[in-house]
Every structure is written in C-alpha cells, then in structure tokens.
Amino acid sequence: MINERLDLLREALPYIQRFKNKIFVVKLSGKVTEDQDQLASLAEEMTLCQQVGIHIAVIHGGGKQLSSIAERLGVTQKIVNGRRVTDTETLEIAKMVFAGQINIDIVSALRRCGAETVGLSGVDGSIIHARRREIQEVINHETGQVETIDFGHVGDIVDINVRLLRLLLDNGYIPVVSSLGADDDGNVYNINADTIASEIAAHLQAEKLILLTDVDGILRDRDDAESRISRLTVEEAERLVSEKIVSSGMLPKIASIARLVRRGVRSAHIINGQKRNALLYEVFTDEGAGTMITAS
C-alpha cells in the first residue's frame, strides 16, 4: 500500500524537473479567496509547488469582499459595464479590503503551510506605476445610453518594476500582491487584477500565468459544463471570440492572455480554483484541469 503511494511520488519527478526554477504567476479571484477552506487548500498546493522548486507569485483583487464591506459602511457602489467607479471612500475601502483583509488571509494561509511569504500591494517597491484613467464616453450596456464616466481612483498601468519581486523570489519568498498601484505623486489607484497579473507575468518572463477563477475554463457551449476546451492556441481563442462562442465576460481575459503569450510567457491557464487540486493538476499531470492557451 505504502509502496504504491511512493510509486506515485516517482511519477511526479518529470514534472518537477520540467518546471524547476520556472516562475508561475497565480491570480486568485475574489470567489476563491473568500472561502477559507478553499484558500487553505490552495495555499497547500502553492507551497508544495514552491517546495519542489517552482517560483510562485500571487496576485489578487477582491471585488466581492469590497462590495460587502462597502455595503456595511453604507457606501453605495456604482458599477458601469462591470467596472467599478472608485470614489474616494471606495478607494479607502479597497485599500482596507485588498491590502488588509484579503492579503493577510492569503499570507497567513501560506504561513500555516510553512511557506515564507510577503504580502504586498502594487504601491510597494514601485511595482505598479499607474496613472488615473481618463474620463470616458461609455455606452452603458444596461441602459444603452452614452454616459460620460469618471472612474475616479481607477488607474491604468504605465509601467511595471519587478526588482522587488525578483529580490523576494530569489530569496525564497512567495510575494502576494494586491491590486493597487500608485503614480509618482503617491496617489493610490484601484487597478484591474487580471491586467496586473498579465503584466507582471510578462515582465517576469513567467513560464505560466494561472487564473484561478470560479469557472472550469473556456466552454465550447457555455451551457454544457462538459464542453470545456482543454487546450487551444491564441489564434484559436481569438477565433472563438470573433465567432462569439465565448461569453463576453471572458473577452477581456482572452484579449489580455493573447497579448501576454505573444510577449513570451509560455502559456496561460484558466482553471477553477474552487475545485480541490486544481493547481496540482496543472503541474503534475499532462491533461490539466482547465483551459490552457499557448502561442502555437
């Protein structure tokens, strides 16, 4: 019995060798981080990956938790076409929820597994140099009206500085970065976590970008959970987009992944972080758990 278990360990060897000293950028969605048991399980998977020699960097946002605290504080949230308008009060809550609550939850879950971890936001070490998003004319998908929207303290990424991340990765730490950035005047901005994950993956020349979401990957038929596409190229993904096979919620993810893979990251993965062992599937099996997108 034990012998069979040990034989299983041997099967892990080629995977360990393949990914030795490679960088995986893992993006955790709010749905994944809010369930403490799921987070504990994922922390163990990430620690295991790190212990066998993979460098892990974690990025997270936390829109769901932000909305919940905002409601408790009586701060109304305005969301246009799925994008949050971040007024001054909301920014304060974002700082508290992203960099305080969720970040420490992730860090302490990793610490319980014995991993050396450092919680950061994009403001630290000038990781994310951002600028305020300009006021835009937007067609409100709900109303169909053109609106002039000031997204407030929402920022767009101007540049990424990975010096601090490299320093921490080289010294055995798992950096955990919440989705805030700043400009050179120290103004803090709320920034899209998917975009941060992509940009950091590109600047670190990561092997993989792994998006841990609450969906099983890209479905050929969005009503059929069994129609998951396990592997496709950037070109195929873009064809799915143009043929409107993928849902609109997937559009920005696929666009950002396409750019990323063209910038040298070997592959991007959309997997369901709510399923046990989702991350280990990607590292220790050939089939994988979600959808893997590669350059060719």
Q: Name which position in 68, 87, 138, 187 contacts its own copies (CB under 8 A).
A: 187
Residue 286 interacting with its own copies (CB under 8 A) = no
Q: Name which position in 68, 227, 277, 294 contacts its own copies (CB under 8 A).
A: 277
Q: Name which position in 33, 67, 90, 121 contacts its own copies (CB under 8 A).
A: 121
Nearest CA among 1, 187, 186 for reference residue 86: 187
Distance in Å, CB of 219 to its own copies, minimum: 21
- Cα 36 from Cα 124, distance rounded (Å): 26
Distance in Å, CB of 277 to its own copies, minimum: 4
Span near its own copies by CB under 8 A; candidates 113-121, 137-145, 225-233, 253-261: 113-121
Span near its own copies by CB under 8 A; candidates 26-34, 184-192, 215-223, 250-258: 184-192
| Interface map 54-93 toward its own copies (x if CB under 8 A) | ---------------x--xx------------------x-
Contact predicate 155/183, CB 8 Å: yes
- Cα 47 from Cα 259, distance rounded (Å): 29
Residue 180 interacting with its own copies (CB under 8 A) = yes
Helices (runs of H) and strands (runs of E) counted in the chain: 11, 16
Query: How buried is residue 92: exposed, middle or buried, by Cβ count under 10 Å (0-12/13-18/19+)?
Result: middle
Distance in Å, CB of 92 to its own copies, minimum: 6
Q: Are strands 174-178 and 55-60 parallel, antiparallel or unpaired?
A: parallel
Supply the Cα-derived Rg of the chain in whole angstroms. Answer: 19
List, in order, residues 6 or more apart from 218 with CB less than 8 Å away.
228, 229, 232, 237, 240, 246, 250, 254, 270, 291
246-265 binders of its own copies (CB under 8 A): none
Contact predicate 155/129, CB 8 Å: no
List, in order, residues 6 or more apart from 190 with CB less than 8 Å away.
84, 86, 90, 91, 94, 153, 154, 155, 179, 180
233 versus 277: smaller Cβ distance to its own copies: 277
Residue 202 interacting with its own copies (CB under 8 A) = no
3-state secondary structure of 291: strand
Residue 182 interacting with its own copies (CB under 8 A) = yes
Given phi > 0 = left and psi -120 to 50 = alpha, else beta, which region is 62? left
Residue 199 interacting with its own copies (CB under 8 A) = no
20-59 binders of its own copies (CB under 8 A): 20, 44-45, 47-48, 51-53
Distance in Å, CB of 71 to its own copies, minimum: 11
11 versus 214: smaller Cβ distance to its own copies: 11
Residue 96 interacting with its own copies (CB under 8 A) = yes
Contact predicate 191/140, CB 8 Å: no
- Cα 226 from Cα 213, distance rounded (Å): 17
187 versus 233: smaller Cβ distance to its own copies: 187
What are the residues binding its own copies (CB under 8 A)? 2-3, 5-14, 16-17, 20, 44-45, 47-48, 51-53, 69, 72-73, 92, 95-101, 103-104, 107-114, 116-121, 123-126, 164, 167, 171, 173, 180, 182, 184-188, 276-277, 280-281, 284-285
